[in-house]
Structure 1
């Protein structure tokens, strides 16, 4: 009986620790990103924005930087630029990622 109680309490304690210890990168960015007029509210992850040419206008009104990739689905190692929070950039790219 005591062993079962300790197992249950241990599982509850582990669940609480995992809930508290989740890194902030697992959450969406606060704010929005505009890409050629398309709005992405509280974005998180990878977004495709169309063909890489011509350049796209990125407005980053979030609390995190975003990375722009030449290929769709944020694939490849070709990173065409980074847009810091609160900045606007014209970059060539088919997708962007925000942590």
Structure 2
């Protein structure tokens, strides 16, 4: 095997190792961040929620039966200020809450 072929082979092995490590890191982060359980925002309940949920129910109530913390915002579409958080297995009511975000 020539020196050039050996160098190209080493580069290929390093690239494969890096890509494998990145794939592993992304799959681990994705599964760790996903909420498992149910999240009730206003009158709607979501199973294994992810993202932002807006409600027109006032006062807004949140029932978080997931393994993640939910963030409450004062404007629709998780805009404006984050006014509170609702931890796993907590229920809270918000006079000024409009939307909820969960990973």
TM-score by length of 1: 0.79
Query: What is the Cα deviation at residue 94 of structure 1?
Result: 1.8
Give unpaired runs (5+ residues) of structure 2. Answer: none
Give the structure with the higher percent strand.
2
Say what the alpha-carbon RMSD is for the aligned residues: 2.1
The aligned residue for residue 43 of structure 2 is 37
Give unpaired runs (5+ residues) of structure 1. Answer: none
TM-score by length of 2: 0.76
Q: Residues 23-65 of structure 1: CA distance to partner in whole angstroms, max 9, x if unpaired?
A: 3587311111012231222122322223xx6211211000111
Give the structure with the higher percent helix.
2
Larger radius of gyration: 2
